[in-house]
A and B are shown apart, each in its own frame.
Chain A
Amino acid sequence: MEPSHTAHPAPGTAAAGREPLVVVKNVNKHYGDLHVLKNISTTINRGEVVVVIGPSGSGKSTFCRALNRLETIDDGTILIDGKELPKEGRGLAKLRADVGMVFQSFNLFAHKTILENVTLGPIKVRKQSPADAKKRAMDLLQRVGVANQANKSPAQLSGGQQQRVAIARALAMDPKVILLDEPTSALDPEMINEVLDVMVQLAHDGMTMVVVTHEMGFARKAADRVLFMADGEILEDSTPAEFFDNPKSERAKDFLSKILTH
């Protein structure tokens, strides 16, 4: 599982010459008087792994959640695979099925078994047969290393196991892109790596990913790009090596000095 330390793919190459999958244009959002997203624009190409990093409260979660419209935006456009996010209803649900999401607090369905957590979407949303859905779910649970827990309830699993199940649940929908919002922040330190390993594997398999994380190891190992956010703006958009070794803005330098001392 543990990959070599060669970056995947060579930084910059993934973005180059590929088709855009997520296009964000001039997006603004306010919470009351607070301007949380300030004219955000960026493009994420198919197969690209983008790490979003920045101080707490800078709008990373809001940005991430806006990408599948768990948060509404005031103005601007967000295109997923060429289609604008519908406002509400079935169109939005359909589009969300193509955008996986992994939450900091896992959010596994508490009343379902691990296996049911992974099959529910494929059966009810994708209309797969229960047998097909189960077969695929077991493959995915195998892949994230929790197949032997399939019949347990979420509360019986450790945080690291739950988060890997959450990743399997997202993958079961065959999403075009997966959003992960601080997927390891709620985990005990000894469980962080088991989740990061799965994420690195996913990145190497070519999944398009937007990952809000402060895990520099993951960013260096798996990311094509790092977006540095502060106060609702994207201040830097660069390769991991560029960003961590040679940050341009004072905000980024300051931020990095803080996370490095921890």
Chain B
Amino acid sequence: MNVIFDNIDTFLRGFGGTLTLLGLTTLFALPFGLLLAAMRVSPVASLRATSTVYVEVLRNTPLLLVFTFFSVIITYISGALPFQVAAVLALTIYTAPFFAEAIRSGINGVPVGQAEAARSIGMTFGQTLGLVILPQAVRSVVPPLINVIIALTKNTSVAGAFFIFELFNVGREVANANGNAVVAVFLGVAFFYLIITVPLGQLADHIERRVAVRR
């Protein structure tokens, strides 16, 4: 275990790197996901189709492939995309569809009569969604959104393979330098991930139970 305490600064910086990726990606992917979900339920067929295709393609593509695309190909083409930016971009583009699906299932959970009542008093699509549907969907949407963030936390580790300073990469480096303590190092890495994901999971369960009670 000493190997962790000896390298605690490195671990903490890696942890910071992971949190940064997580925070930035959530910041961008959540609004993007909301936009995709809104397009998916909009009255405009071409927007619906665009969103559907995008969501289905990305949800069914391995993250590593998306990363490779952004980190390698785009960097190769433009030559100037920093790895950090590429990583956040790739994670955002990959995660937004999952947010979108969580939001869409929440939207679909609101009785259709609510939207009809809103439209029948002359609300636009945006007003109907923003003033009537989403406020009612939000409680049931939060737990699945948290689950997407948990998956995203784990997915940030893929960025380590692309020279980004985050937990998983830190683990590899420290393990390489301490060949006799590989197991301890990766247990330490796991611990830091769990610090993020376990409380999130608890929170999701808690909210889910409260929503279930109020139904």
Chain A residues packing against B (C-beta within 8 Å): 68, 70, 88-90, 93-101, 103, 105, 107-111, 120-121, 124-125, 166, 169-170, 173
The smallest beta-carbon distance between A102 and chain B, in angstroms, is: 9
Within B88-146, which residues are at the interface with A (CB < 8 Å)?
111, 113-114, 116-125, 127, 131-132, 135-136
The smallest beta-carbon distance between B44 and chain A, in angstroms, is: 7
Known A88-B44, A120-B131; contact A107-B117, beta-carbon cutoff 8 A: yes
Q: Are the CB atoms of A110 and B136 closer together than 8 Å?
A: yes
Known A110-B136, A111-B136, A125-B127; contact A173-B122, beta-carbon cutoff 8 A: yes
Known A107-B116, A110-B114; contact A96-B43, beta-carbon cutoff 8 A: no
A-B contact count (CB 8 A): 68
Count of chain B residues near A, Cβ 8 A: 20
List of B residues within 8 angstroms of A100 by Cβ: 120-121
The smallest beta-carbon distance between A97 and chain B, in angstroms, is: 3
Q: Are the CB atoms of B121 and A107 closer together than 8 Å?
A: no
List of B residues within 8 angstroms of A68 by Cβ: 120
Q: Are the CB atoms of A120 and B120 closer together than 8 Å?
A: no
**In the complex, A198 Cα to B47 Cα: how many Å?**
43
Known A109-B132, A111-B136, A125-B127; contact A103-B113, beta-carbon cutoff 8 A: yes
9 tightest CB-CB pairs across the interface, nearest first?
A: A97-B122, A121-B121, A101-B120, A107-B113, A107-B117, A125-B122, A96-B122, A93-B124, A93-B122
List of B residues within 8 angstroms of A173 by Cβ: 121-122
User: Besides the contacts A96-B120, A107-B113, what 5 more A-B pairs have beta carbons closer than 8 Å?
Assistant: A100-B120, A107-B111, A107-B117, A110-B136, A169-B121
Closest-by-CB residue of A relative to B113 is A107
**In the complex, A125 Cα to B118 Cα: how many Å?**
10
Q: Are the CB atoms of B118 and A109 closer together than 8 Å?
A: yes
Known A70-B119, A97-B121, A173-B121; contact A124-B127, beta-carbon cutoff 8 A: yes
Closest-by-CB residue of A relative to B120 is A101
The smallest beta-carbon distance between A242 and chain B, in angstroms, is: 32
The smallest beta-carbon distance between B115 and chain A, in angstroms, is: 9
Within B7-50, which residues are at the interface with A (CB < 8 Å)?
43-44
List of B residues within 8 angstroms of A70 by Cβ: 116, 119-120
Known A88-B43, A88-B44, A105-B113; contact A120-B136, beta-carbon cutoff 8 A: no
**Which single member of B117, B131, B136 contacts A103 (CB below 8 Å)?**
B117
